[in-house]
């Protein structure tokens, strides 16, 4: 187990190493400590309500490299409120194309006309491995028939879906922009109807009966960005079947160091650490 001092002392050394591509990771034996780290939850560009220290893509990428993060699945903050989703995804794809570490994850808003075209553009033109949804910001629930249709189209195309359960604590939201957390309950039945679907829940604090039900539902994955406590990640990993949790920081909204320190200070077995930091991500996105 790596502790806080070890993490901070070795971050620059790890970041100075060559960034590992997927082929080299697959060919190598799993290391005792992960030399490949996949962050499945970052966002590019500017958060709509305030400036963040790392909201410039180049600055954020420099930070991720310095911490040894070798791949990052990037959505776009612009996808929350912009109506021109095609433009949002074009800018995201262009930026990620400049940096091999960045994997673009497009935005789709089923409330807007032509959302099916936006989804197909993500698949056919930008070759994105998945899309990230913000149902609470876009004004629909997971019981909406359009979400069901989106899930079917993405699954048929072999794409994963990320659902951001929340983006910001409700206590700190702008008073004119109060956005409740996404109700994940309808996902249970939809996943049973779409057995081949792959859905990752982002920015959630899963617990209680709903966590138990989601854990029993094949194809549902979680991230670690808002897991609480020094033993929260360990508890989550051991509350769900193996290979269902992926590392995520929610950077730059949250500082990425916090997610890494919380992970390395967790009481994880070597196989759990490897699964969390990169192996499960490769099963979800095998084409990277």
DSSP letters for 83-102: S-HHHHHHHHHHHHHT-TTE
Listed residue (4, 86, 107, 97) closest to 57, CA to CA: 97
Contact call for residues 146 and 118 (beta carbons, < 8 A): no
- Alpha-carbon span 78 to 83, nearest angstrom: 9
Report the DSSP beta bridge partners of residue 107: 132
pLDDT at 33: 60
pLDDT at 288: 56
Local structure of 200: helix, strand or coil? strand
User: pLDDT for 48-103, tens place per residue?
Assistant: 999 999 999 999 999 999 999 999 999 999 999 999 999 999 999 999 999 999 99
Start-to-end CA span in the chain (Å): 28
Tell me 199's DSSP state.
E
pLDDT at 18: 32
Local structure of 221: helix, strand or coil? strand
- Alpha-carbon span 228 to 206, nearest angstrom: 10
Domain boundaries, the chain: 38-168+182-284
CA atoms within 13 A on the CB side of 64: 34
Contact call for residues 80 and 134 (beta carbons, < 8 A): yes
For 169-193, give one letter per residue: b (16+ CB within 10 A) or e: eeeeeeeeeebeebebeebeebbee
pLDDT at 7: 52
Work out whether strand 38-44 and strand 220-223 pair parallel, antiparallel, or are unpaired.
unpaired
Which residues of the chain, if any, have pLDDT below 70?
1-35, 287-288
- Alpha-carbon span 46 to 237, nearest angstrom: 32
Class of domain 38-168+182-284: alpha beta
- Tokens 């491995």 belong to which residue? 129
pLDDT at 13: 43
The tokens for 40 are: 């499945």
Q: What CA–CA distances, in Å, run from 62 to 35, 54, 67, 257?
A: 17, 9, 9, 13
Contact call for residues 199 and 163 (beta carbons, < 8 A): yes
Contact call for residues 18 and 49 (beta carbons, < 8 A): no
């Amino acid at each position: 187990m790596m502790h806080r001092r070890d993490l901070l002392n070795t971050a620059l050394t790890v970041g100075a190493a060559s960034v590992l591509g997927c082929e080299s990771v697959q060919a190598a034996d799993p290391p005792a400590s992960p030399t490949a780290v996949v962050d499945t939850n970052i966002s590019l560009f500017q958060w709509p309500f305030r400036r963040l220290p790392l909201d410039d893509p180049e600055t954020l990428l420099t930070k991720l490299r310095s911490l040894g993060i070798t791949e990052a699945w990037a959505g776009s903050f612009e996808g929350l409120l912009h109506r021109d989703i095609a433009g949002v995804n074009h800018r995201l794809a262009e930026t990620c194309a400049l940096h091999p570490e960045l994997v673009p994850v497009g935005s789709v808003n089923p409330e807007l006309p032509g959302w099916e075209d936006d989804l197909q553009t993500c698949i056919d033109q930008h070759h994105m491995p998945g899309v990230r949804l913000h149902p609470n910001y876009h004004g629909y629930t997971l019981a909406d028939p359009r979400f069901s249709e989106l899930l079917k189209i993405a699954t048929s195309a072999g794409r994963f879906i990320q659902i951001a359960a929340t983006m910001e604590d409700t206590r700190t939201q702008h008073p004119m922009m109060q956005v409740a957390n996404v109700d994940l309950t309808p996902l249970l039945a939809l996943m049973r109807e779409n057995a081949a679907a792959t859905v990752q829940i982002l920015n959630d604090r899963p617990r209680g009966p709903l966590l138990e039900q989601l854990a029993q539902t094949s194809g549902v994955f979680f991230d670690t960005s808002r897991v609480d406590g020094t033993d929260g990640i360990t508890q989550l990993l051991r509350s769900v079947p193996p290979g269902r949790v992926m590392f995520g920081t929610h950077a730059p909204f949250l500082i990425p160091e916090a997610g890494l320190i919380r992970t390395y200070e967790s009481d994880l077995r070597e196989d759990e650490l490897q699964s969390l930091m990169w192996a499960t991500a490769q099963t979800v996105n095998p084409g990277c």
